[in-house]
Chains A and B, each alone.
Chain A
Amino acid sequence: METLVADVLLTFLVVIAVGIIVLRDLLAAVILLGAYSLTAAGAFVVMDAVDVAFTEAAVGSGISTILFLGALSFTKHEQKPRGNDSWVAVLFVVVTGALLIYGTLDMPYYGSATSAAQTNPDLAVRFLQQSGSEVGPPNIVTSVLASYRGYDTLGETMVVFAAGMAVLSLLGLKRRRPGLEAPEDAPGDTPGETPADALDEPPTSRHT
């Protein structure tokens, strides 16, 4: 029964993803993205990864939807029709996807009896018993994330930091480009402003 529920939820994920690709209405795509995240979070719960499910629901379905809507208020609701799809881009996407799938091949299957967690049961017991005295926090997941696999978490943090720096640099570059001058109805919108302040004011007012 558990496998059936997980399988049906994963099938829903595929259907929603295809719908997001096919739809030309960007607002509908954003709505579908929220449904996608919620379904993925449900699948995570069914697979006993409750902490991942919480993160997915809060970040993917909660704040991402709102951020996408904020981005959508700067642009139009319809996707611009494109005459020629770039074959190079398609090739890159296919190759990247194939590499990612290839990377999962040597992972243990879901619920596999030969996975590392099953073949070394002493490890989980040790974490459960000694993480309190070794690391400190009462939450064992926190101890594992921050201490036992601390280098892994450090790498993840660096990836997130690099992504944030990339976004900031992109926003800063866009700000300095000519043609994107301050609107008339926003006094004090000088070019010396920080990019974070520039985000508060849309370039044009649609309601005047």
Chain B
Amino acid sequence: MFIAGILALLVTMALTLWRTLLGPTLFDRLLAVNSFGTKTVLLIAVYGFMTGRPDFLDIALVYALINFVGTIAVLKFFEYDDLGSGKYQEDDF
């Protein structure tokens, strides 16, 4: 069962990677990379259970956090064109 799950995850990762490389707009790529990261997290979790080492769940959690931080940073850059030197606030509010 775990093997089937891993194979399905690998196929899904290939599909999201395909969208990342094709994706016409930047949002397509960002969304695809974000879900690619989520699939990596799931893959590590399922892999840990398959090989009888559920401790891999901790690593998967850390990866989920890092993936989140990266996506937030890219989105912030996308919105404000820099990483928050504080300049945009005078203009936007």
Contacts and interface: CB of A to CB of B under 8 A. Distances in A.
Contacts of A32: 20, 29, 33
A62 B59 contact: no
Contact of B74 (A54, A69, A202): A69
Majority-rule SS of B interface residues: helix
A70 B47 CA distance: 35
A45 interface: yes
A16 interface: yes
Nearest to B2: A1
A141 interface: no
Given A32-B20, A42-B40, A57-B63, A69 B83 contact: yes
Interface string B53-89: 0001001001100110110011001100111010110
Interface string A181-195: 000000000000000
Contacts of A65: 70, 73-74
A69 B59 contact: no
A5 interface: yes
Contacts of A45: 44, 47, 56, 59
Contacts of A38: 36-37, 40, 63, 66-67
B83 A31 contact: no
Interface of B: 3, 6, 10, 13-14, 17, 20-21, 26, 29-30, 33, 36-37, 40, 43-44, 47, 50-51, 56, 59, 62-63, 66-67, 69-70, 73-74, 77-78, 81-83, 85, 87-88, 90-91
